[in-house]
Amino acid sequence: MITVEKIPFEQVPQFSDRDVAYVSNNEKLRPFFKYSVTLEAFGDIFKDKAKDQTDRTTLVQVLKKQYASLAPSPAVLKNIEALEKENTFTVITAHQPSLFTGPLYYIYKIISTINLARQLNEEYPDYHVVPIFVTGGEDHDFEEVQKANIFNKTLVWENEESGSVGAMKTDTLKEVLSELKDLLGTNPNATEIYQIIESAYTQNKLYANATIQLVNSLFGTDGLVVVGMNNAELKRGFIPIMTEELIQQRSHQLVGATSHQLNEVGFKTQAAPREINLFYLRDQIRERIVFDEGRYQVLNTEYSFNETELLAEVNQHPERFSPNVVMRPLYQEKTFPNLAYIGGGGELAYWLERKTQFDHFNLNYPMLIRRNSVLWLDKGMNKKMAKLDLKVADIFVETESLIKTFLKKISEKPLHLNPEKEQLEKMFDDIATRIKTIDPTLEATVKAEGAKQIKSLENLEGRLMRAEKQKHDVAVNQIRAIKDKLFFNNGLQERRDNFLSFYVKYGPAFFETLKKELDPLDKRFVIIRDA
C-alpha cells in the first residue's frame, strides 16, 4: 500500500537557504521574479505571453521534423499541431541528456511539468497548455552526463569525443548498455525497460536524438513534447538577440548588476556572466568566444573574426552559435509561447538573476516553479526503519545526532551526567564566591578549574556513548546504512539514484504513482512510502 506524507522545505536540511527562501516566498527575493507561484497567477501570464512574438509556424515545422523518425503518440501529435494556434501555450522543464536519464530528479522534473500542464488545461479551458521537455544536447560537460547510479553501482559511459554532448556518436555506448542489461536482470519490468533504452541508443547515430527517443518512449502517451534546441531554424529567430550579445555585450552588465543585488540581500549567486555569453559550435568543438584586440576569437581554435565577418557568420550559420547558461533562458522563451519554467533550486537560482535581462530584450519573464522533490521509501526500507522504531522525521536528522538519540532511547541507564555536572557547577560557583571575598584574583583560577572538571565529565559521557555504540553495534550500523542509502554524502536520494532502481521493482506503476501524487504548485517535500 502506497502512503504519502508531505513536509515543509524548511524541515529538509539538504536544501540551500536560497531554495527554501524562494519556496517560502521570502520577501528579499520578491524583486527578482515576476509572478507568485499560484494557479490564479496564470490568468495574467496567458495575456502577458500572448504579447511576445513567437514564431509558431517555424516551431511546429521543426518539431514535426524532429519527430519524423519517431513513433509519436496521438497526444504528442495533437500537442504539436496545437502549438500553431494562438491560444496554445507551453510549460517547460529542461535537463542535460544524462545517461539513462541520470538522477531521479530528471524524472521528477518531467512529471511535475506534465502534471502542471494537466492542471492548467482543467483550470483554463479556453487555452491549451503543452508540456515541453528541452534536452540540452549543446552542453559540452560530458563528465556531468556520463554516469548513472543503479542499484548502488555506478555505470560510466567511456567516450573520447569532445564538443557538444548531443553530437556525440552512440556506438560507444555498447559496453555500458551491456553492463546495464546484466545489472537489471530478467524480470518482466527489467526486460521491458531495457528494450526501450536499447532501442533508443542503437537506432540513433547521435546521442541527442537517442535521448529524444528515450524520453518520448517513456512519456509520449502523456503528450510530453521533447525538443532538441540545437537547430538552425530555431536559432535563426534568435539572431537579433545573439547579435546584440556579441557586439554590445549587454547581458554581462545586466546580469552582473542583478547578481550584485542578490548578494547584497544575502543570496550568493551561481556564476558570473561573461562579456560574451555564447559558444562557437562546430564538429567536436564548443568553445567560448572572446573579444580581444579588435577581433572575436574562438578559444583553443584557429577561428577568428572581425565584426563584419562575425555578423555574416551569425546570419549565415546561426546553428554555430550556442547559448551558455546566461543566454539559454532567453533562447528558450523566444522560441516557445511559454508560461512557466519548472526546475530545481540550483536552476531557479540562475533564473532569478535574469529578470532585468528579459526586460531589456522585451521578452516576458515566465513563472518560476520549484519542481517536486521526492523521497521514495520501498518496503525493504520501511521494514528496516520500523525495526529500529525510526519515524520519517528521524531520518532527516544528521547521522551522529540520530545515533545518539537512538541510543539514549534504548539504553537501560542514562548516557549523560547532567545531575553530576549541575552539582559540580554549583560547587565551583560556591567556591568562587567564597574565594572572591578573600582574594578576588583567585576567582578566575577557580572558574577555570571548574570548566576543566566539567570537560572531564563530558569526556566520560563520550566514553559512555562509545561503549553503548559497541553494545548496539548492529543497530548503529543499520542506522548508518539507512542514512547512507537515503542520503549518500548527506545528499538527497533524488540527486543520486536512477529511476531504473525503482522501475525494475514497480514497473509502470512507479510513474503512475508519481503522476498521481506530484503537484508542482504544492510547495512541500514529498515522501512516498510503500508499506
Q: What are the backbone dihedrals phi and psi of residue 2, each rounded to the nearest 5 degrees, phi first?
A: -90, 130
**What is the residue-wise DSSP string for 153-177?**
EEEE------S-GGGSBGGGGHHHH
Q: How much is the pLDDT for 510?
A: 97
Measure Cα distances from 449 to 145, 420, 421, 437, 458 in Å: 58, 16, 13, 18, 14
Question: With contact defined as beta carbons under 8 Å apart, do 493 and 104 qualify?
Answer: yes
Kindly report, residue by residue over 204-251, the tens digit of the pLDDT: 999 999 999 999 999 999 999 999 999 999 999 999 999 999 999 999
Q: Is the pLDDT of residue 53 over 60?
A: yes
Q: How much is the pLDDT for 458?
A: 64
Cα atoms in the Cβ-side hemisphere of radius 13 Å centred on 49: 30
Kindly report, residue by residue over 494-528, the tens digit of the pLDDT: 999 999 999 999 999 999 999 999 999 999 999 99
Kindly report, residue by residue over 429-472, the tens digit of the pLDDT: 767 677 777 777 777 776 777 677 767 666 666 665 565 555 56
Instruction: Work out the average pLDDT over 99-128.
Output: 98
Kindly report, residue by residue over 186-199, the tens digit of the pLDDT: 999 999 999 999 99
Q: What are the backbone dihedrals phi and psi of residue 489, each rounded to the nearest 5 degrees, phi first?
A: 50, 35
Give me Rg for the CA atoms of the chain: 28
Residue 348 binned pLDDT confidence (cut-offs 50, 70, 90): very high
Instruction: Work out the average pLDDT over 378-400.
Output: 89
> Comparing C-alpha atoms, which of 250, 268, 277 is closest to residue 358?
250
When comparing pLDDT for 334 and 411, which is higher? 334
Q: In whole angstroms, give the CA distance from residue 327 to residue 240.
A: 13
Q: Where are the domains of the chain?
A: 2-238+324-373+508-530, 391-491
Measure Cα distances from 463 to 325, 403, 450, 459, 468 in Å: 52, 15, 20, 6, 9
For helices 508-517 and 105-123, what crossing angle results, to 10°? 50
Q: In whole angstroms, give the CA distance from residue 41 to residue 116.
A: 13
Angle at alpha carbon of residue 92, lines to 362 and 36, rounded to 5°? 65
Question: With contact defined as beta carbons under 8 Å apart, do 344 and 107 qualify?
Answer: no
Q: Is the pLDDT of residue 411 over 70?
A: no
Question: With contact defined as beta carbons under 8 Å apart, do 252 and 268 qualify?
Answer: no
Residue 338 three-state SS: strand
> Which residue has cell 542578490?
262
Instruction: Give me the residues paired with residue 323 across strands.
Output: 278
Q: How much is the pLDDT for 414?
A: 55
Q: Is the pLDDT of residue 424 over 70?
A: no
- Position 97, amino acid: P
> Comparing C-alpha atoms, which of 311, 310, 303, 297 is closest to residue 284?
303
Instruction: Work out the average pLDDT over 269-283.
Output: 88
Residue 68 binned pLDDT confidence (cut-offs 50, 70, 90): very high
Residue 319 binned pLDDT confidence (cut-offs 50, 70, 90): very high
Q: How much is the pLDDT for 447?
A: 73
Query: What does the mean pLDDT of the chain come to?
Result: 91
Residue 5 three-state SS: strand
Strand runs (DSSP E) across 136-241, as ranges? 147-150, 153-156, 225-228
Question: With contact defined as beta carbons under 8 Å apart, do 454 and 425 qualify?
Answer: yes
Q: How much is the pLDDT for 407?
A: 74
* Helices (H), ranges, 275-417: 307-316, 328-335, 345-351, 355-360, 379-387, 399-410
Q: Is the pLDDT of residue 413 over 60?
A: no
Q: How much is the pLDDT for 406?
A: 75
Q: How much is the pLDDT for 245?
A: 95
pTM for the structure as a whole: 0.88
- Position 142, amino acid: F
Instruction: Work out the average pLDDT over 112-119.
Output: 98
Q: In whole angstroms, give the CA distance from residue 66 to residue 209.
A: 8
Pairing state between β 128-135 and 88-95: parallel
- The fraction of the chain above a pLDDT of 90, given in percent, is 76
